[in-house]
Amino acid sequence: MKVETYKITGWKEKETGVLIDENKDWVLVKHIPVDYAIDGFKLYRKTAIKKRKSKAKEERISRVLQLKNIKTDLPDSFTFKNTLELLIWSEQKYGLFEFQDNEAEIFYGKLNKAADDIFNIDLVASDGSIEKEYHYDFLTDDVVAITFESDYFESMRLLMNDELKKDSKLSKV
Protein backbone atom coordinates (compact mmCIF):
# COMPACT_ATOMS: atom_id res chain seq x y z
CA MET A 1 0.00 0.00 0.00
CA LYS A 2 1.60 3.22 -1.16
CA VAL A 3 0.53 6.57 0.32
CA GLU A 4 1.50 9.71 -1.58
CA THR A 5 1.18 13.45 -0.99
CA TYR A 6 0.54 15.69 -3.98
CA LYS A 7 1.27 19.36 -4.51
CA ILE A 8 -1.31 20.56 -7.06
CA THR A 9 -0.56 23.61 -9.19
CA GLY A 10 -2.65 26.57 -7.99
CA TRP A 11 -3.89 24.89 -4.78
CA LYS A 12 -2.77 26.08 -1.34
CA GLU A 13 -3.24 22.76 0.48
CA LYS A 14 -1.41 19.52 -0.31
CA GLU A 15 -3.49 16.39 -0.94
CA THR A 16 -2.77 12.90 0.40
CA GLY A 17 -4.11 9.55 -0.70
CA VAL A 18 -3.53 5.82 -1.04
CA LEU A 19 -2.40 5.19 -4.61
CA ILE A 20 -4.81 2.75 -6.25
CA ASP A 21 -4.01 3.07 -9.94
CA GLU A 22 -2.89 5.51 -12.61
CA ASN A 23 -2.69 5.95 -16.34
CA LYS A 24 -0.96 8.56 -18.49
CA ASP A 25 -3.55 11.25 -17.61
CA TRP A 26 -4.92 10.50 -14.13
CA VAL A 27 -3.93 9.25 -10.66
CA LEU A 28 -6.67 7.45 -8.66
CA VAL A 29 -6.38 7.47 -4.87
CA LYS A 30 -8.41 6.72 -1.77
CA HIS A 31 -8.44 10.24 -0.37
CA ILE A 32 -6.95 10.97 3.06
CA PRO A 33 -8.25 14.40 4.12
CA VAL A 34 -6.60 14.28 7.56
CA ASP A 35 -4.34 11.96 9.55
CA TYR A 36 -5.47 8.34 9.05
CA ALA A 37 -9.03 8.94 7.85
CA ILE A 38 -10.08 7.65 4.42
CA ASP A 39 -12.87 9.55 2.71
CA GLY A 40 -13.87 8.43 -0.76
CA PHE A 41 -11.97 8.34 -4.02
CA LYS A 42 -10.20 11.15 -5.82
CA LEU A 43 -8.78 11.41 -9.32
CA TYR A 44 -6.01 13.94 -9.94
CA ARG A 45 -5.06 15.19 -13.39
CA LYS A 46 -1.37 14.37 -13.79
CA THR A 47 -0.57 17.60 -15.64
CA ALA A 48 -1.72 19.54 -12.53
CA ILE A 49 0.50 17.60 -10.12
CA LYS A 50 3.54 19.75 -9.41
CA LYS A 51 5.13 17.27 -6.99
CA ARG A 52 4.47 13.76 -5.61
CA LYS A 53 6.17 12.35 -2.56
CA SER A 54 6.10 9.32 -0.34
CA LYS A 55 8.41 9.71 2.65
CA ALA A 56 8.36 8.96 6.39
CA LYS A 57 4.99 10.63 7.08
CA GLU A 58 3.31 8.77 4.19
CA GLU A 59 4.95 5.48 5.24
CA ARG A 60 3.52 5.91 8.77
CA ILE A 61 0.04 6.60 7.35
CA SER A 62 0.38 3.51 5.14
CA ARG A 63 1.34 1.40 8.16
CA VAL A 64 -1.72 2.58 10.13
CA LEU A 65 -4.06 1.96 7.19
CA GLN A 66 -2.66 -1.56 6.76
CA LEU A 67 -3.22 -2.21 10.47
CA LYS A 68 -6.82 -0.99 10.00
CA ASN A 69 -7.21 -3.41 7.02
CA ILE A 70 -8.23 -0.61 4.66
CA LYS A 71 -9.17 -2.00 1.23
CA THR A 72 -7.68 -0.40 -1.85
CA ASP A 73 -9.78 -2.01 -4.57
CA LEU A 74 -10.84 -0.16 -7.68
CA PRO A 75 -14.39 1.22 -7.43
CA ASP A 76 -17.05 -0.91 -9.14
CA SER A 77 -17.22 -0.37 -12.91
CA PHE A 78 -14.40 2.21 -12.87
CA THR A 79 -12.11 2.57 -15.88
CA PHE A 80 -9.88 5.47 -16.83
CA LYS A 81 -11.40 7.72 -19.49
CA ASN A 82 -11.21 11.32 -20.61
CA THR A 83 -12.56 14.09 -18.36
CA LEU A 84 -16.07 14.26 -19.82
CA GLU A 85 -16.42 10.47 -19.85
CA LEU A 86 -15.34 10.31 -16.19
CA LEU A 87 -17.93 12.95 -15.22
CA ILE A 88 -20.60 11.06 -17.21
CA TRP A 89 -19.59 7.79 -15.51
CA SER A 90 -19.93 9.42 -12.07
CA GLU A 91 -23.32 10.91 -12.95
CA GLN A 92 -24.60 7.58 -14.30
CA LYS A 93 -23.37 5.67 -11.25
CA TYR A 94 -24.21 8.18 -8.50
CA GLY A 95 -26.64 10.68 -10.05
CA LEU A 96 -24.16 13.58 -9.94
CA PHE A 97 -20.47 14.39 -10.09
CA GLU A 98 -18.03 16.46 -8.06
CA PHE A 99 -14.97 18.16 -9.44
CA GLN A 100 -12.42 20.77 -8.49
CA ASP A 101 -10.89 23.33 -10.82
CA ASN A 102 -7.39 24.76 -10.93
CA GLU A 103 -8.25 27.13 -8.04
CA ALA A 104 -9.48 24.21 -5.86
CA GLU A 105 -13.09 25.45 -6.09
CA ILE A 106 -15.54 22.55 -5.71
CA PHE A 107 -18.55 22.02 -7.99
CA TYR A 108 -21.36 19.46 -7.76
CA GLY A 109 -23.50 18.95 -10.81
CA LYS A 110 -25.10 17.08 -13.62
CA LEU A 111 -23.98 17.44 -17.21
CA ASN A 112 -26.16 19.81 -19.20
CA LYS A 113 -24.31 20.36 -22.48
CA ALA A 114 -20.95 19.30 -23.81
CA ALA A 115 -19.10 20.12 -27.01
CA ASP A 116 -15.48 19.24 -27.68
CA ASP A 117 -13.53 20.43 -24.62
CA ILE A 118 -16.23 22.70 -23.13
CA PHE A 119 -19.13 21.67 -20.93
CA ASN A 120 -21.99 23.26 -18.99
CA ILE A 121 -23.63 21.84 -15.87
CA ASP A 122 -26.82 21.95 -13.86
CA LEU A 123 -25.29 23.01 -10.54
CA VAL A 124 -26.26 21.10 -7.41
CA ALA A 125 -26.32 23.64 -4.55
CA SER A 126 -25.39 22.86 -0.94
CA ASP A 127 -29.09 22.50 -0.03
CA GLY A 128 -29.56 19.84 -2.73
CA SER A 129 -31.47 22.11 -5.11
CA ILE A 130 -30.50 22.06 -8.78
CA GLU A 131 -29.78 25.26 -10.67
CA LYS A 132 -30.65 24.38 -14.26
CA GLU A 133 -28.23 25.56 -16.92
CA TYR A 134 -25.72 27.09 -14.51
CA HIS A 135 -24.35 29.86 -16.69
CA TYR A 136 -20.68 29.03 -16.86
CA ASP A 137 -18.73 27.15 -19.49
CA PHE A 138 -16.07 24.87 -18.03
CA LEU A 139 -13.03 23.73 -19.97
CA THR A 140 -12.29 20.04 -19.49
CA ASP A 141 -8.60 20.97 -19.00
CA ASP A 142 -9.59 23.08 -15.97
CA VAL A 143 -10.91 19.99 -14.16
CA VAL A 144 -8.03 19.11 -11.85
CA ALA A 145 -9.71 16.57 -9.55
CA ILE A 146 -12.85 14.42 -9.61
CA THR A 147 -14.20 13.04 -6.32
CA PHE A 148 -16.76 10.34 -5.56
CA GLU A 149 -17.98 8.23 -2.61
CA SER A 150 -16.76 10.74 0.00
CA ASP A 151 -18.98 11.50 2.98
CA TYR A 152 -19.82 14.99 1.70
CA PHE A 153 -20.42 13.67 -1.83
CA GLU A 154 -22.88 11.10 -0.44
CA SER A 155 -24.58 13.80 1.65
CA MET A 156 -25.00 16.01 -1.43
CA ARG A 157 -26.39 13.04 -3.37
CA LEU A 158 -28.95 12.30 -0.64
CA LEU A 159 -30.00 15.97 -0.40
CA MET A 160 -30.33 16.25 -4.19
CA ASN A 161 -32.43 13.08 -4.40
CA ASP A 162 -34.65 14.31 -1.56
CA GLU A 163 -35.14 17.65 -3.33
CA LEU A 164 -36.01 15.82 -6.56
CA LYS A 165 -38.62 13.75 -4.68
CA LYS A 166 -40.16 16.91 -3.19
CA ASP A 167 -40.23 18.55 -6.63
CA SER A 168 -41.96 15.52 -8.22
CA LYS A 169 -44.58 15.47 -5.41
CA LEU A 170 -45.27 19.19 -5.92
CA SER A 171 -45.68 18.75 -9.68
CA LYS A 172 -48.30 16.05 -9.09
CA VAL A 173 -50.46 18.35 -6.93
Q: What pLDDT sits at residue 135?
A: 77
Report the CATH number of the 81-173 domain: 2.30.30
Output the CA–CA distances (angstroms, integers) from residue 133 to 10, 110, 144, in the order listed.
Answer: 27, 10, 22
The mean pLDDT of 121-150, rounded to a whole number, is: 92
DSSP notation for 13-71? S-EEEEEEEE-SSEEEEEEE-BTTB--SEEEEEGGGEEEEE--HHHHHHHHHHHHTT--
The mean pLDDT of 155-165, rounded to a whole number, is: 93
Domain extents in the chain: 1-72, 81-173
27 pLDDT tier (thresholds 50, 70, 90): very high
* Inter-residue contact 42 to 17 (CB < 8 Å): yes
The mean pLDDT of 46-56, rounded to a whole number, is: 97
Whether the pLDDT of residue 17 is over 80: the answer is: yes
Q: Which CATH fold would you assign to the domain 1-72?
A: SH3 type barrels. (2.30.30)
